[in-house]
């Protein structure tokens, strides 16, 4: 069975040292569901985000299963929190809200805009991947609703140009792979590979990269393999949370996801491939 190589351990140690230099304290905030609809609506207005309202009851078995398998799942929350204001309501304790949104079966999820206007709804148990797709579809509809009327009547036939995506925060991938050292690349030594831009530290490292780029680039175009497995969304990882496995670099969004990968790397290295940057999913609202 494959395992993390000693070089991977050295990489993690270097990562910790580099992250400590950037910030004295890096404590990840745990996403939380709100229980007050009015407070959540104020937050949605402040952030200009839609709200995901999950209705449940204590006696509902699918509700309990969804709570256990989906709503409390860290990878699901990592996708949902940047997109939506999350609200969880016991329908029997909030009958007026349940009636307002026409909730008669459980669980029911309703996604509304900050004014309370319905965007999408779903009834019944949903697996994690379908749930986050449901949320992403609502986010897209919300963004479309925000566009001026003149823009909505015009359908562009051209795909918007990609902004420059500087991979691994501009660090040299060759130096990282070869020496396990974080060395900033020089923009004069630049190579584009699969839609991403890499800065190399020198002409020598640029030549090495151009000769065999697959050896040096992050797997899955730098997307988190744990989120990809759980939700089927390609979400960019962070250079703070990386590890080499079988001499290949993987990036994660959180230390928790990196630990999950380390416990069972074979499970996550068999996930689907991210082939181009168009597959990378980012929140549309901030």
What pLDDT score does 270 carry? 82
Q: Which residue has the tokens 């929140």?
A: 283
251 lies in some domain: yes
Does 135 fall in a domain? yes
Phi, psi at 217, each rounded to 5°: -75, 155
Instruction: Measure the CA–CA gap between 122 and 109, rounded to whole angstroms.
Output: 5
pLDDT of residue 77: 95
Do 168 and 140 share a structural domain?
no
Q: Are residues 196 and 126 in the same domain?
A: no
Helix, strand, coil shares of the chain as percentages rounded to 5? 45, 20, 35
Residue 116 falls inside a structural domain:
yes
Answer with the one of 145, 180, 204 that is the final residue of a domain: 145
Tell me 67's DSSP state: I
Record the pTM: 0.80
The dihedral built from the CA positions of residue 155, 157, 158 and 160, taken in this order, carries a sign that is positive
Distance in angstroms (rounded) separating the CA atoms of residues 283 and 286: 7
Query: Is 235 exposed, middle or buried, given 0-12, 13-18 or 19+ CB atoms closer than 10 A?
Result: buried
50 lies in the same domain as 93: yes
**pLDDT tens readout for residues 253-284:** 999 999 999 999 999 988 778 877 888 888 87
- Say yes or no: 174 and 129 in one domain: no
Give the per-residue pLDDT at 274. Answer: 80
Of 117, 150, 124, whose CA–CA distance to 56 is shortest? 124
For residue 108, what is the domain's CATH number?
Answer: 3.40.30.10
Same domain? For 44 and 129 the reply is yes
pLDDT score for 257: 97
Tally the domains of the chain: 2
- Are both 138 and 208 inside the same structural domain? no
Q: Is 243 exposed, middle or buried (0-12, 13-18, 19+ CB in 10 A)?
A: buried
116/167 same-domain check? no
pLDDT at 283: 81
Q: Distance from CA of residue 182 to its chain's centroid?
A: 24
Shared domain check, 229 and 187: yes
What pLDDT, on the 0 to 100 scale, is given for residue 280? 84
Q: Residues 121, 109: contact at Cβ < 8 Å?
A: yes
Whether residue 136 is found in the same domain as residue 183: no
Are 123 and 60 members of one domain?
Answer: yes
Residue by residue, pLDDT tens for the chain (286 residues) are: 333 443 344 345 344 434 433 333 332 333 479 999 999 999 999 999 999 999 999 999 999 999 999 999 999 999 999 999 999 999 999 999 999 999 999 999 999 999 999 999 999 999 999 999 999 999 999 999 886 644 544 443 333 444 567 999 999 999 999 999 999 999 999 999 999 999 999 999 999 999 999 999 999 999 999 999 999 999 999 999 999 999 999 999 999 999 999 999 999 988 778 877 888 888 876 5
Q: Is 132 inside a domain boundary?
A: yes
Question: Is residue 115 classed exposed, middle or buried when 0-12, 13-18 and 19+ CB atoms within 10 A define those classes?
Answer: exposed
Smallest Cα–Cα separation from 106: which of 164, 65, 163?
65
In whole angstroms, what is the distance from residue 133 CA to residue 141 CA? Answer: 12
Same domain, 136 and 224: no
- The answer to whether the CB of 77 falls within 8 A of the CB of 54 is no
Contact call for residues 220 and 257 (beta carbons, < 8 A):
no
In a domain, 32, yes or no: no
Q: Is 14 exposed, middle or buried (CB count within 10 Å of its CB: 0-12, 13-18, 19+)?
A: middle
Establish if 20 belongs to a structural domain. no
Domain identity same for 170 and 141: no
Residue 23 within any structural domain of the chain: no
Distance of CA 24 to CAs 16, 201, 228, 251, 259, Å? 11, 27, 30, 22, 22
| Residue 10 covered by a domain | no
pLDDT of residue 145: 87
Segments forming the whole domain that contains residue 61: 37-145
């Amino acid at each position: 069975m494959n395992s993390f190589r000693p070089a991977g351990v050295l990489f993690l140690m270097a990562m910790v040292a580099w992250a400590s230099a950037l910030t004295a304290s890096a404590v990840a905030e745990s996403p939380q569901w709100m229980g007050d609809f009015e407070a959540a609506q104020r937050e949605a207005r402040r952030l200009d985000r839609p709200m995901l309202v999950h209705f449940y009851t204590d006696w509902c078995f699918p509700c309990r299963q969804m709570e256990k398998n989906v709503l409390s799942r860290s990878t699901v929350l990592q996708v949902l929190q940047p997109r939506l204001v999350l609200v969880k309501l016991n329908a029997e304790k909030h009958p007026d809200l349940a009636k307002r949104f026409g909730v008669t079966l459980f669980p029911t999820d309703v996604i509304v805009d900050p004014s309370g206007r319905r965007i999408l709804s779903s009834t019944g148990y949903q697996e994690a991947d379908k749930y986050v797709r449901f949320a992403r579809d609502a986010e897209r509809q919300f963004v479309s609703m925000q566009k001026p009327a003149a823009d909505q009547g015009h359908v562009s036939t051209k795909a918007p140009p990609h902004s420059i995506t500087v991979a691994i925060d501009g660090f040299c991938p060759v130096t990282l792979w070869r020496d396990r050292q974080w060395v900033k690349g020089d923009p004069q030594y630049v190579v584009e590979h699969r839609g991403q831009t890499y800065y190399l530290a020198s002409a020598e490292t640029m030549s090495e990269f151009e000769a065999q780029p697959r050896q040096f680039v992050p797997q899955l175009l730098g997307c988190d393999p744990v989120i990809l497995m759980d939700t089927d969304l390609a979400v960019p990882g962070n250079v703070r949370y990386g590890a080499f496995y079988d001499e290949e670099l993987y990036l994660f969004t959180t230390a928790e996801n990196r630990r999950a990968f380390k416990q069972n790397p074979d499970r996550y290295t068999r996930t689907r491939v991210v082939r181009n940057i168009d597959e990378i999913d980012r929140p549309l609202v901030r």
